[in-house]
């Protein structure tokens, strides 16, 4: 990693219930305690409906936590302007939103002002999204409602390019490889490994291949973090984890 001072990403006693949930219903997440050290990548694994996507969406404040706190390098995320928070934390979700603008502009939304062609090309290469150069107007091709329609895998790769283009300090990825074919997936994983060496990352993972990108794994179960360890440690020591990784859950949400 970059050897930055700071404390990485911390969840302390985080509870979350959707604002419109019945008041007597149990919270979706209760007492989440998790520490992702500076420069570390952590995979988040759990059964369908365990709240993995919700947990990751709390970091960029797409949802506000009910209680507890989340800190980036010791600073409570609620004390930062949203704009500053979203500069520090780049996200790519499984169902990415592409805006009705050019491919290049879609990717550069993730970048600081004045980011140029070289950085755009680097991000597309990392995300294995070089198909963009072959589009009718290259990276100037419009996509989205008024433009070209892309496949799920292509959209996912552009979202990944958007997440890495600004060389963010923190990266939150929600199963970023789910729509990719095996060949593309292997290529993206190899490239992601290099990106993860320079960031502090939380990655929702459904498959062992994605889990293996991370330094450690956290198992989300019953609304809390039930276990944290390496993939091998959890395979050996946690029956629920071993079951999840055996593929019975193949790619279901």
CA distance 182 to 197: 23
What does the domain layout of the chain look like in residue ranges?
9-245
Q: Provide the pLDDT for residue 2.
A: 46
Q: Provide the pLDDT for residue 188.
A: 83
CA distance 206 to 174: 10
Q: Are 165 and 120 within 8 A, CB to CB?
A: yes
Q: Provide the pLDDT for residue 253.
A: 40
Q: Provide the pLDDT for residue 130.
A: 92
Provide the CA 22 distance to its chain's centre, in angstroms.
29
Q: Provide the pLDDT for residue 252.
A: 42
Number of other residues whose CB lies within 10 A of the CB of residue 167: 18
Candidates 51, 38, 40, 43; CA nearest to 6 is 38
Strands 67-72 and 9-16: antiparallel
Q: pLDDT per residue over 117-175, tens digit each?
A: 999 999 999 999 999 999 999 999 998 776 778 888 898 899 899 999 988 899 999 88
Q: Residue 5 class from Cβ within 10 Å (0-12 exposed, 13-18 middle, 19+ buried)?
A: exposed
Q: Provide the pLDDT for residue 210.
A: 87
What 3-state class would DSSP assign to 55?
helix
Q: Provide the pLDDT for residue 5.
A: 61
Q: Provide the pLDDT for residue 122.
A: 93
β-strand partners of 42:
202, 216
Which strands, in side-by-side order, build the sheet including 200-204? 89-92, 170-174, 200-204, 41-46, 216-221, 224-229
Beta strands in the chain (DSSP E): 9-16, 29-36, 41-46, 67-72, 75-76, 89-92, 170-174, 200-204, 216-221, 224-229
| Mean pLDDT of successive 10-residue stretches along the chain, which has 253 residues | 70 94 90 95 94 94 95 96 90 82 91 88 93 95 80 88 91 83 82 86 89 95 96 96 78 43
Q: How many CA atoms lie within 13 A of 226 on its CB side?
A: 16
Helix (H) or strand (E) holding 245: helix 239-245
- Find out if CATH 2.30.29.30 is the number for domain 9-245: no
Q: Provide the pLDDT for residue 135.
A: 94
């Amino acid at each position: 990693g970059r050897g930055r001072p700071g404390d990485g990403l911390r969840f302390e006693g985080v509870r979350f219930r959707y604002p419109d949930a019945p008041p007597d219903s149990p919270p979706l997440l209760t007492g989440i305690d998790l520490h992702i050290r500076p420069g570390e990548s952590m995979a988040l694994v759990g059964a369908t409906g365990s709240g993995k996507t919700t947990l990751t969406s709390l970091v960029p404040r797409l949802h506000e936590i009910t209680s507890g706190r989340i800190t980036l390098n010791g600073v409570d995320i609620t004390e930062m302007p949203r704009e500053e928070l979203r500069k520090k934390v780049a996200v790519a979700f499984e169902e990415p939103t592409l805006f009705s603008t050019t491919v290049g502009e879609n990717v550069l939304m993730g970048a600081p002002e004045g980011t140029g062609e070289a950085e755009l090309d680097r991000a597309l290469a990392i995300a294995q999204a070089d198909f963009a150069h072959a589009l009718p107007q290259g990276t100037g091709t419009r996509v989205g409602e008024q433009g070209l329609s892309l496949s799920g895998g292509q959209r996912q790769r552009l979202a990944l390019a958007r997440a890495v283009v600004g060389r963010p300090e923190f990266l939150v990825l929600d199963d970023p490889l789910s729509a990719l074919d095996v060949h593309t997936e292997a290529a993206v994983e190899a490239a992601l490994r290099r990106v993860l060496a320079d960031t502090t990352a939380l990655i929702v993972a459904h498959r062992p291949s994605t889990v293996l990108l991370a330094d450690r794994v956290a198992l989300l179960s019953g609304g809390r973090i039930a276990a944290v360890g390496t993939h091998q440690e959890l395979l050996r020591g946690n029956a629920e984890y071993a079951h999840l990784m055996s593929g019975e859950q193949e790619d279901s949400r």
